[in-house]
Structure 1
Amino acid sequence: MSATFGYTLQDWQQHAKQDPLHLKSLLIAHFHALNPQDNAWIHLCTAEQLHAQLDALFSQDLTSLDALPLFGVPFAVKDNIDVAGWPTTAACPAARYIAEQDAHVVAQLKAAGAIVMGKTNLDQFATGLVGCRSPFGAVSNTFNPDYSSGGSSSGSASVLARGYVAFSLGTDTAGSGRVPAGFNNIVGLKPTKGWISARGIVPACRLNDTPSVFALTVADAYLVASLAAGYDEKEPYSRQHPATAPAQFPTRPHFAVPETLTFCGDKQAEAAWQQALTALENSGVTLTPIDFAPFQQLAEQLYAGPWVAERTAAVGAMLDRPEQMDPTVYQVIRQGVNFSAVQAYQAEYLRADLTRQIQRTLADVDALLVPTTPTIHTLAALEHAPIALNSQLGLYTNFTNLADLSALALPAPFRADGLPAGITLLAPAWHDRALAEFGCRWQSLLHLPLGTSGRDLPSTPLSLPASPAHVRVAVVGAHLTGMPLNFQLTSRNAVFIEETQTAAHYRLFALLDGPIKKPGLLKAEQGQAITVELWDIPLARFGEFVAEIPAPLGIGSLTLLDGRTVKGFICEPAVLNTALEITAFGGWRNWLTAQEER
């Protein structure tokens, strides 16, 4: 096994920082250690294709790698996503073509410095959750080859779980970026539809397709997603990030769980789920049972009704060549011709109604928690009942994109037979960062080995990059937790980050006019550290918040004790001549407490 197998994104980044030039030889050695006969690959890059990428990368200015956060990081691409000059098959040789340009997601990641190592196997035309509907062969589970790897992004999950790449791209329409994560002890990030462009991807259901990211850690998955994301004006279903969602969930989050769950008779899956619930509750999570019926009814629509006609439209003329398609995939997609336009509109009306019910349910919690799948099947069992058993695997995934939710599949306590059993968190659109922040906490809590590599979780705490969609604000008085104006933050999805102190050159005053006592903070040559709270407020709500701040207060920049600079409350100096100085108390709460004790 190559010494580089199992490297996280952070490991590759560390090598790049230490010796960028040595990284080239390291990548070449890594490439030669990969097995081209491994059927998780449909197209492993050639030596020429690898060197072409390396030459382009190393021809850039390497004096600073800040502009290339993925410098030299190897990744894999599901073979329904275009890589310029490489074949794309969607696991159907008859549909093979040479891509003229990179898919938008691939171009974004290449621009960040990443290196494509190969194109990976999948359920043909991304139709399936099992990983065995491919003429290139069934991709087996990385823990037990008798079992399914999950699909349709089977190859991308397999090569990632075994540590052959630092991250991989899948696609997710009905769960294809989550089921393989659950079956292979890895992270699967299913982003909000439209956050990452789907241009350059062979469509399965264009209204519900999204690129997805597999990684060994949540932090790696989110970093990759954030670098791949961005509005694409050439993609009709690309969306601008509204910057309205919270940056993270509360320290003690509140999750919904289905009141009634089925595990298809799989006692080991049920036991693993109970272990996960216990760990969550012990960590401070509140779990509330909900009626899962609207979610389940919506999940059934994706294949049992007119929505399947979208897949029929996607394959086009290939439907006239059934002998060149996987028989099960053809059987599924062929159903679409049986539905009328009237039925399609009726299905959309039902989807909208069920989605509204789901949104109302999720409005009262931070996220929905489900098993990633109710069970797992052997390849032999899937061969005998390919459609029925596949349907079971989508019970907790199929509704996600129809309801416009974001999702994160996470490793969880293993089954008694040694197979992985994941959990998935789902939240409204654009809550991707909040899901990822909790996912970092969860992964650090369990501290499971990464994939099948046997490598441990990095010793450094998992953390996410700074968010351009949020503003960090220091509050010092009436906006503190439990104070009269704190609602102006919480009602705008602002979340508490930490209590800390300003640098030691601030003076604090009490403004006693008006119905609510307020503090005034002044930067001065002589002063002391003042206690503040840091809150992250969504960028789109920041203007509303500032508009409610009355004179003589305003928002400026504050320096913290550790040198960080954040936005924070400041005060017009002129009014402080008549205000009460309370600097010596070191903070607003201390002063209020002293008044109460008098």
Structure 2
Amino acid sequence: MTTLPDLTISSLSTAYQAGELTPSSLVKLLHAKLTALEPSAVWIHLLSESELLDYARELETKDPADLPLYGVPFAIKDNIDLADAPTTAACPDFKYFAKESAFVVEQLIAAGAIPIGKTNLDQFATGLVGVRSPYGVPENACVPEYIPGGSSSGSAIAVAKGLVSFSLGTDTAGSGRVPASLNNIVGHKPTKGLLSCTGVIPACKSLDCVSIFANNAVDAQKVYDVASKFDPADPYAVENKLLPEAAPLGALGSTFRFGVPHASQLDFFGNEEAELLFFNTVRKLEAMGGEKHTIDFSPFLDAALLLYEGPWVAERYVAIEDIIQKNPEILHPVTRSIIAGGENLTAADAFKAEYKLKSLKRIADETIARVDFILTPTIGTCYTREEVEANPVELNSNLGYYTNFMNLLDFSATAFPAGFYKNKMPFGVTAFAPAFHDAKLLDLATKFMEDAPCISHDCSEVPAGWNPIVVCGAHLEGLALNWQLTTRNAKLWKKTQTAPLYQFFALPPVGDNIPPRPGVLRLAEDNEDAIAIEVEVWLIPTDKFGSFVANIPAPLGIGKVKLKDGKDYPGFICEPYVLKDPINGAKNISHLADWRKFIS
């Protein structure tokens, strides 16, 4: 194998077990790709090729079928320890070399996963914006001028850009969900304590969670299954409870109940497009068999205010007290100003807030018990880097509107893609439920993404489980044969053009049942008659691609079509003999370069 393969866990497992791929060949390809991308603000520390090969060769002494994450590359947020690698928490003067890996990292490596490196973050995991790091700002995977989201910025980008199969983040106030929403991936914040925090630099030790990023919820579930092993050395660790009411929702189309905040309690910060996308998601869940219930969101919002306006800021202060007192100048200015506010909070403040939280928790638990889960936007809007730079604290606070309460109230939560803005930024939602409902939420995300996959126009490569098909005639959106795609659950991915390498023909009609069809003929690159053709790229589920192709009548067929971006995708072509034989009546319509113009 000479090109980097699909990095989804199922695809890698299949390739390893078939003998088509080895861990050594994978890490060599991956290291070459990462080296070509450097310098990059995604990473604070990358393992060398020799270090990666040590992991790979050790795996090659084992059977791929015996390890659930055999040869799967992953990234680690740089406030989580990896043995013999530096940990910085995005503060260079804080750097130390870990003697042991964090407990959760050890579980993943034991299951066959290969650590690739340590990723960038908002310093000391303080922030939801992803711009508070001396190591630079990772570039948003979809629209570069927008923030990447934080604090787990690098971990999210590494997954979104196809550099690893999954990554670890942390999530105290939303750091494992906000970057997922901003980069069109899944972010799972598990039940508090299910993933060990041994070997994790604390932000708020009583609230911290290790989180999981993946391109799909199936992969996130596989990682969660390995990582959620009980750690007796972590005083905040809990053992998983298999509750009957937390079972997966069942087959697609089965009924379930979900809560949505009252319209007056939803805040999109002036973004009408986000509001439309959210209610489109609600309708999709209803179409899947969901029954919507409007809930009072006020106890959740009141709890959220306690995180930064209450005494839990003092817990952040405790985590880096020595630095604040002795070397405050090494901190990012915004980070320092936020954490320093915890110095003068009292024990009385803490008890008052604890009493209030307990009262809010009781009400919130009663509310959520009436539904299977509650749905909110993950974030109410998205911001550019320039906007955040001009107003760093208020906009960061806005990003936490739907996330800050989650760990205070001890809920599990899964953020997953749910659409795109017109500017091609992704939009995401979060489903949350009581503790230990993790599997149910990941199952919901899987079913939603299967039924209504969110396919970016520019954001990523072809997602796993889908095949691209370039169409230029009756299969175009809204035309006579488009149903052959839509009934196979195909989704429109791109409207674009071919490279200027083609001639375009209208084939003669065949009987009464076959509509007019185009013929595409590729010419030599230096042919002055070659033109670019208007096309659409659709994505069709891989298991339905064969049945689609089987219905294509001669002289049409499927070959490789080169697009204007230089990429080759499967698409409709025509056997040349038909186009060159004047008897059949094929008409050259290259001057139109657009099938819609021809049929109009």
User: What TM-score bracket applies, with the shorter chain setting the length?
Assistant: 0.7 to 0.9
Amino acid at match of 1:50: L
Work out whether 1:252 is the aligned partner of 2:252.
Answer: no
Q: Which residue of 1 aligns with 2:31?
A: 31
Counterpart Cα distance in 2 of 1:360 and 1:21 = 51
Instruction: Pick closer, same or farther for the CA change 1:41–1:392 going to 2, 3 Å.
Output: same
After TM superposition, the structure 1 = structure 2 runs for residues 376-455 of structure 1, keeping only pairs within 5 Å, are 376-449=382-455, 452-455=459-462
Q: Who is 2:465 aligned against?
A: 458
Identify unmatched segments of 5+ residues in structure 1.
Answer: 461-598
Identity %: 43
Q: How big is the shift at 1:457? A: 4.2
Distance change >3 Å, CA 453–CA 200, structure 1 → 2: same
The whole-number CA distance in structure 1 between the counterparts of 2:345 and 2:427 is 36
1:42 alignment partner AA:
I
Alignment of 1:59-98 (within 5 A): 60-62=61-63, 65-98=64-97
Deviation at 1:459, TM superposition (A): 5.6
Q: Structure 1 residues 408, 93: closer, same or farther in 2, change over 3 A?
A: same
Q: How far does the alpha carbon of each residue in 1:193-216 deviate from its partner, in whole angstroms, 9 at most, with x for none? A: 111111100000111111110001
3-state SS of paired residue (1:199):
coil
Shift, 1:100, TM fit: 0.6
| CA apart distance, 1:442 | 0.3
Shift of 1:376: 0.7
- Counterpart of 1:590 in structure 2 is none
Conservation of the 8 A alpha-carbon contact between 1:189 and 1:212: yes
Deviation at 1:262, TM superposition (A): 0.8
CA contact (8 A) 2:203 2:315 kept: yes
Residue 86 of structure 1, CA deviation: 0.1
Identify the match of residue 56 of structure 1 among 50, 55, 58.
58
Q: CA deviation at 1:23?
A: 3.6
CA distance in 1, matches of 2:294, 2:239: 33
- Ranges of 4+ aligned residues in structure 1 off by more than 4 Å: none
Describe how 1:338-353 pairs up with structure 2 within 5 A: 338-353=344-359
| 1:55 positional shift | 2.8
Q: Distance in 1 between matches of 2:463 and 2:96?
A: 40
Matched, 1:12 2:15: no
- C-alpha separation in 1, matches of 2:298 and 2:217: 30
Residue pairs, 1:510-529, within 5 angstroms: none
Residue 18 (structure 2) pairs with residue 45 (structure 1) = no
Corresponding residue SS for 1:278: helix
Q: What's the CA shift for 1:16?
A: 1.1
1: CA distance between counterparts of 2:209 and 2:55? 26
Measured in 2, the distance between the counterparts of 1:6 and 1:343 equals 52
Note closer, same or farther for the CA distance 1:3–1:20 as it changes in structure 2 (3 Å cut). Answer: closer
In structure 2, the partner of 1:205 is 204
Q: Can you list the C-alpha shifts for 1:241-271, whole angstroms capped at 9, x where unaligned?
A: 1222431126211110110311010122112
User: What's the offset of the Cα at 1:61?
Assistant: 3.1
8 Å Cα contact 2:196/2:228 also seen in 1:
yes
SS of residue paired to 1:27:
helix
3-state DSSP of counterpart to 1:131: coil
In 1, the alpha carbon distance for the partners of 2:43 and 2:143 equals 18
Q: Residue type of the partner of 1:117?
A: I
Amino acid paired to 2:295 = I
Checking the alignment, whether the CA contact within 8 Å between 1:298 and 1:402 is kept in structure 2 is yes
Tell me how far apart the structure 2 counterparts of residues 452 and 7 of structure 1 sit (CA, whole Å): 16
| Aligned match of 1:314 | 319
Is 1:178 the counterpart of 2:177? The answer is: yes
Q: Which moved more, 1:88-97 or 1:41-50?
A: 41-50
Matches within 5 A, 1:432-511: 432-449=438-455, 452-458=459-465
> For each residue in 1:276-300, what CA deviation from the matched residue of structure 2 results, as whole angstroms up to 9, or x when unmatched?
1221222221111111111001011
One-letter code aligned to 1:279: K
Instruction: Please report the TM-score for the alignment, with normalisation by the length of structure 2.
Output: 0.74
State the shift of 1:446 in Å.
1.3
CA distance in 2, matches of 1:140, 1:32: 20
The residue aligned with 2:128 is 129
Rounded to whole Å, the distance in 2 between the matches of 1:402 and 1:369 is: 18
Which whole-Å deviations, capped at 9, do the CAs of 1:545-595 have from their partners, x for residues lacking one?
A: xxxxxxxxxxxxxxxxxxxxxxxxxxxxxxxxxxxxxxxxxxxxxxxxxxx
Q: For the residues of structure 2 that align with 1:129 and 1:61, how far apart are their CA atoms?
A: 40
Q: Is the CA contact (8 Å cut-off) linking 1:131 and 1:140 kept in structure 2? A: no
Q: 2:496: which partner in 1?
A: none
Q: Which residue of 2 aligns with 1:373?
A: 379
Aligned match of 1:222: 221
Q: 2:81 corresponds to which letter in structure 1?
A: D
Alignment of 1:547-566 (within 5 A): none
Per-residue CA shift, 1:162-182, capped at 9, x if unaligned?
111000110010100000000
Amino acid at match of 1:17: Q
Query: What is the identity, as a one-letter code, of the residue corresponding to 1:220?
Result: D
Mapped to 2, the partners of 1:238 and 1:386 lie a distance apart of 34
- For residue 262 of structure 1, the aligned residue among 260, 263, 267 is 267
Change (3 A) 1:299 1:5: farther
What's the CA shift for 1:5? 6.4
- 8 Å Cα contact 1:301/1:307 also seen in 2: yes
Deviation of 1:363 (Å) = 0.7
Q: Following the alignment from structure 2 to structure 1, what is the Cα–Cα distance between the partners of residues 26 and 313? A: 45
User: Are the equivalent residues in 2 in contact too, given 1:109–1:227 (CA < 8 A)?
Assistant: yes
Match of 1:326 in 2: 332
Letter in 1 for 2:275: E
- Compared CA separation, residues 305 and 414, structure 1 to 2 (3 A): same
1:51 to partner: Cα distance: 2.0
Structure 1 residue 381, shift from structure 2 partner: 0.9
Cα distance in structure 2, aligned partners of 1:271 and 1:289: 17
Q: RMSD of the TM alignment (CA)?
A: 1.6
> Contact (CA 8 Å) 2:24, 2:53: kept in 1 or not?
no
1:7: how far off? 2.1
The residue type equivalent to 2:260 in the other structure is V
- How far did 1:184 drift? 0.5
Q: Is the 8 A contact 2:89 2:124 kept in 1?
A: yes
- Using the alignment, how far apart are the partners of 1:266 and 1:272 within structure 2? 10
Aligned CA distance change for structure 1 residues 151 and 30 (closer, same or farther; 3 Å):
same
Structure 1 residues 434-465: Cα deviation after superposition (integer angstroms, max 9, x where no partner):
111111110101123389332134269xxxxx
**Amino acid of the structure 1 residue aligned with 2:12:** W
1:561 aligns with none
Does the CA-based 8 Å contact 1:5-1:162 persist in structure 2? no
Equivalent pair of 2:17/2:65 in contact (CA under 8 Å) = no
Report SS of the residue matched to 1:69: coil
Distance (whole Å) between structure 1 residues aligned to residue 161 and residue 40 of structure 2: 12
Q: Which amino acid aligns with 1:312?
A: Y
For 1:131 and 1:228, locate their aligned partners in 2 and report how far apart those are by CA, in whole Å: 25
Contact 1:295–1:399 (8 Å) recurs in 2? yes
Preserved CA contact (<8 Å) 1:79 1:90: yes
SS at structure 2 position matched to 1:298 = helix
Deviation at 1:20, TM superposition (A): 7.1
Q: CA deviation at 1:372?
A: 0.3
Residue deviations 1:24-46, cap 9 Å, x none?
A: 21321121111231111111111
Amino acid at match of 1:22: T
Aligned residue type for 2:341: Q
Q: Greater shift after overlay, 445-454 or 150-159? A: 445-454
- Alignment partner of 1:304 out of 305, 309, 314: 309
Q: Note the 1:181-196 alignment, pairs <5 A.
A: 181-196=180-195
- State the one-letter code of the partner of 1:258: P
* Other structure's SS at 1:336 match: coil
Cα distance in 2, alignment partners of residues 202 and 23 from structure 1? 30
Residues 381 and 399, structure 2, Cα contact 8 Å, conserved in 1: yes
What do the CA deviations read for 1:215-253 (whole angstroms, capped 9, x no partner)? Answer: 011010011011011111111011111222431126211
Task: Report the Cα distance in structure 2 between the residues aligned to 1:277 and 1:398, rounded to whole angstroms.
Answer: 22
- Determine if contact 2:178/2:379 at 8 Å carries over to the other structure: yes
Q: Distance in 1 between matches of 2:278 and 2:464?
A: 22
Q: Give CA-to-partner distance per residue, 1:447-498, whole Å, 9 cap, x none.
A: 23389332134269xxxxxxxxxxxxxxxxxxxxxxxxxxxxxxxxxxxxxx
> 1:415–1:421: 8 Å Cα contact kept in structure 2?
yes
How far apart are the structure 1 equivalents of 2:185 and 2:238?
28
Contact kept, 8 Å, 2:15 with 2:21, in 1: the verdict is no
